[in-house]
Structure 1
C-alpha cells in the first residue's frame, strides 16, 4: 500500500493513520486480514431498539438493520412483513398498522443479529468462487462462497422479494433472474474472477453457451457476458438446500447473547445441520429450525 502511494505521489496525514494493526474499525465494520465482522456496539444499538409504535420508528429500525443485510441469510423474507407497512407515502402514513406479523418479523430480525457472529470471509484468489442460487414463488436468493480444505467460507448472502410482475415469470426465467440479481449484487467480488454457478434448473445450465428459446433468459445471458462464468452446474433440489431455504423462509438459528458477535472459526459443511427444536425469542415469537423434510415437500410440489 505504501509503495502504491509513493508511486502516485500521494501523502497521508499521520494523525489519521493506523499502522501495523491486526484489525481496524471502518464504516461500522471490524476488518482483519481474512474476515469482516460487524461492530458489537452497533449491533447492540439495534437489538435494544424498542418495538416500533409509528411509521418513523419502523423506518429507523429497518434503516439501521439494512446496513448488515449481507450478513443475514433470508433478510428479505424475514423483513417482508415490515416492508409491507412502511412503504407508504406521507399522505398514507395514517394507514400504518403494526400487527402480529410485523412483531414476529421484528424479533426474528433481532434473533438473526444475535444468533451467531456476523462474519464474512474475504475471497482467496487462488481458489474458484462458487455461487449457489435459487428462486421460489415469493423470492430469490444466493450464497457466494469458497470451499477450502473442505470448509465452506461464506463471502456474501443475498436475498430479495419478487415484484408483482416478476411473480408471473416462468420457472426458468425466475432461476435466470436469481443468477442475474446475485451476480450483479456481488459484482465487486466477481469481476475478473472465475465463477462456478450451481442451479437446480437443468436447462439453465446452457444459458451462457447455447441459445435458449426464451427472450428473458437470453437477455440475462447477454447482460452477464462481462463476467467469466466458467461452469453452470445442475444440482438436484434436495442438494441445493441453503439457497432454496434462503429464497423461501426466514432464518432459523440458536439464540445467543449480543456479546457473542465476534470472530469465529469457519464451519465445516458437516456442521450445518440443526435440530428441529423451536426457539422462543419473545413471548410472541417462536422460530422453527431448519427442516429438510419441509424442503423436500416444496420441491415435490414444484
Structure 2
C-alpha cells in the first residue's frame, strides 16, 4: 500500500468494490468487511449467497462463520436495523445514548453530539433540539450546563426511544417533499405514498445563516425548497415520475413561470430546472410536521427577551404611553386583525404573527402592527422623518427606518406620499439630476401627406433578395405605405424609393420624422432635403416614442406577416400590398375612421 497503513481502509474498500463490481446494488452492498446480500425471494437468495461465497473463494478471501447471519428478515448493518419495512435505529446504540451521563466539559459534549448526529435523520427538528448544546461549543462561550441545556439533553435522549421507522426509498412510488421556513430555520420531510398511506423516508432541518436571516419570507420559503432538493437530489433525480413539493407559501406555485427574477432567484431557478416536479400550495395549518421542524422556540432562545426590551424602548421613543394604549385598544377592534388576535390569544400558531407578552401588542414579523388609524400612523411618520434625530431622510430611508419596528397595511405608499409632499424637503434639498430637456412636441399636421413618419424594419429573411421594409406613415390621415427594400440601403437608393413611391403620388412633404440612422444623417440626405426644402426632424436617441406612430405600425405589419408568410418565410414581400390595404382599410383608433376614408 502506498503511504503505509494510513490508506489501509481505502485500499481494502477498492479491493472489495472491484471484486463485487457486477453485484453491487444488484443484490450486494459492501462497506469494508461488512457484506450484505439482499433478495426478493428465498430461491433467489440461495443463489445470491452462493455467488458471493464463490466470489470470495475465487479471490482467497474468507468469511468468519460466527460473524455471519444467513436467511434473516432483518439484520443489523452499520449501526442500523435493516428490514423489509424500512430502516430503524439499533437498540444497542440507542441504549448507549439513554445511559449517557451528563457532559461535564466540551470534549464530553462533542463526543455525545458526534454519537447522536449519526441518527439525526430519524429525529424531527433535530438541529433545533440541540441549539443550546451547540452554543456551548462556541469558542468564547463559557461551558455552563444550565437548565435549558440539561432539558435539551434529556429531551434528545427520550426522542431516540420514540424515533419512527424510515421506509425504504422506491423510485417508482409517488414522492412528496414538504418544506417550510420560519424566520430562523428550514425544515423538510421526504415521504412516499403506497397502498397503506404516506410514509416518511427522511427528516431534515437546519438553521439559517446570518445572511439568509435577512431574506424576505418569499425567498426563505424558496430557499427551503432549494435546500431540500439539494439534500435529497440523488433520490429525486432517480424518480421515474414527477414529484410534488408542498409549501404553505401560495405565490411559489408560479415561481418557475416567473419572468422577473433576482440574481439569487435566477441561480435557484437554474438548479431547480434539473428536477421534474410541481409546487402545490397547502395552508400552514395543515403543515404540522414541517412547521415543527422549522419553528422551534429554542432556535434563538434569548431573542424574545431582547426584542421585548428593545421594542418597548422604541415604542416609548416614538409614542407616549397613552398612544401605546390606543394602539392596543384599536388593534383589538380592527376588523382586519380581530380574528388573528383571537387565535393567538387561544395559543394557536399563525404564520408571521405573534403577540407581545407585556403590552399585548400584535406583532407581524416582529414589528408592531399599527391599526388603520391615520393619526397614529402620521405620529410615527413625523417622529421618524421630521424630528432633528431623523433629519428629513428620503423616501427609501424613511421607509426602512419605520419598517424596523412598525407595520401597517399600505405603509409603503403612505410614507412615499408624505415624504414627496414634505415642504421642507422640497425647499431645502438640492436637485441632483440634470436639468430636464425642453419639451418639443411635433407640429400638428395641416393636411394629408404634408408631415410624414419614416422607419425601417430590418434583418428579415431574404424574400426575392429583399431584406428590409421601409414604412412611411402620413401623420394626418394615418395612411401607411409598405415598401420592400434591399439589405444595403444608401442615401441615393432611399431617395429613389421615396420619389417613386411617395413624392410622385402625393407630392413633396413639409417635414419627415425619422431616427438617427446613418442614411438619415448622411451629407447627401441633408443636402437633398435642403434642395427640396423639406424639414428633417430626427428622433431623440434611445427614445422610440418620438416616432411612436411608426413603431406601432411596424408592430401591426409584423403581426400580419407572421399570420400569412410561408414556413420558410421567403415570400413576405408578396404579402406587403395586401397588408397595406388591410391596414389602410381598417378604422384607426385616433381618427375613428379608416385612412382610405380620410384621404378619399
Bucket of the pairwise TM-score, normalised by the shorter protein = 0.7 to 0.9
Give unpaired runs (5+ residues) of structure 2: 1-19, 27-50, 299-343, 355-364, 366-600
Match of 2:108 among 39, 57, 60: 57
Do the aligned partners of residues 117 and 98 (structure 1) sit closer, same or farther apart at CA in structure 2, a change above 3 Å counting?
closer
Which residue matches 2:87? 36
Which residue matches 2:270? 222
Moved more, 29-38 or 67-76: 29-38
1:297 deviates by 3.3
Which residue matches 1:162? 208
What is the CA–CA distance in structure 2 between the aligned matches of 1:150 and 1:121, rounded to whole Å?
12
1:76 deviates by 0.8
What is the CA–CA distance in structure 1 between the aligned matches of 2:282 and 2:164, rounded to whole Å?
28
Match of 2:130 among 37, 56, 79: 79
Give unpaired runs (5+ residues) of structure 1: 252-290
1:2-47 per-residue CA deviation (whole Å, 9 max, x = no partner) reads: 994399x993356166543212222100111330111000011111
What is the CA–CA distance in structure 1 between the aligned matches of 2:158 and 2:255, rounded to whole Å?
39
What is the CA–CA distance in structure 2 between the aligned matches of 1:250 and 1:146, rounded to whole Å?
29
Match of 1:232 among 276, 279, 283: 279
1:83-123 per-residue CA deviation (whole Å, 9 max, x = no partner) reads: 111133xxx57x22221221111111112112x24410012
Match of 1:69 among 98, 120, 128: 120
- What is the DSSP-based 3-state SS (H/G/I as helix, E as strand, rest coil) of the residue aligned with 2:63? helix
Which residue matches 1:149? 195
1:113-149 per-residue CA deviation (whole Å, 9 max, x = no partner) reads: 12x2441001233321101100001211011112223
Do the aligned partners of residues 30 and 15 (structure 1) sit closer, same or farther apart at CA in structure 2, a change above 3 Å counting?
same
CA contact (8 A) 1:237 1:299 kept: no
Which residue matches 1:112? 159
Match of 1:185 among 224, 231, 235: 231
Do the aligned partners of residues 3 and 34 (structure 1) sit closer, same or farther apart at CA in structure 2, a change above 3 Å counting?
farther
What is the CA–CA distance in structure 2 between the aligned matches of 1:295 and 1:128, rounded to whole Å?
32
1:236-283 per-residue CA deviation (whole Å, 9 max, x = no partner) reads: 1112221012101279xxxxxxxxxxxxxxxxxxxxxxxxxxxxxxxx
CA contact (8 A) 1:145 1:156 kept: yes
Do the aligned partners of residues 298 and 204 (structure 1) sit closer, same or farther apart at CA in structure 2, a change above 3 Å counting?
closer
Confirm whether residue 246 of structure 1 aligns to residue 293 of structure 2.
yes
CA contact (8 A) 1:175 1:201 kept: yes
What is the CA–CA distance in structure 1 between the aligned matches of 2:97 and 2:128, rounded to whole Å?
19
CA contact (8 A) 1:241 1:295 kept: no
Scaled by the length of structure 2, what TM-score is found? 0.40
Confirm whether residue 296 of structure 1 aligns to residue 349 of structure 2.
yes
CA contact (8 A) 2:187 2:204 kept: yes
What is the CA–CA distance in structure 1 between the aligned matches of 2:168 and 2:206, rounded to whole Å?
23
What is the CA–CA distance in structure 1 between the aligned matches of 2:62 and 2:276, rounded to whole Å?
40
- What is the DSSP-based 3-state SS (H/G/I as helix, E as strand, rest coil) of the residue aligned with 2:127? helix
Which residue matches 1:173? 219
Do the aligned partners of residues 182 and 43 (structure 1) sit closer, same or farther apart at CA in structure 2, a change above 3 Å counting?
same
1:187 deviates by 2.2
Which residue matches 1:285? none
1:206 deviates by 2.2
What is the CA–CA distance in structure 2 between the aligned matches of 1:51 and 1:250, rounded to whole Å?
23
Alignment of 1:252-267 (within 5 A): none
Alignment RMSD: 2.7
Scaled by the length of structure 1, what TM-score is found? 0.76
- What is the DSSP-based 3-state SS (H/G/I as helix, E as strand, rest coil) of the residue aligned with 1:103? helix
Report how many aligned residue pairs link the two structures. 254
Kindly name which structure, 1 or 2, has the bigger radius of gyration based on alpha carbons: 2
What is the CA–CA distance in structure 2 between the aligned matches of 1:33 and 1:4, rounded to whole Å?
23
CA contact (8 A) 1:192 1:227 kept: no
What is the CA–CA distance in structure 2 between the aligned matches of 1:129 and 1:212, rounded to whole Å?
30
CA contact (8 A) 1:205 1:234 kept: yes
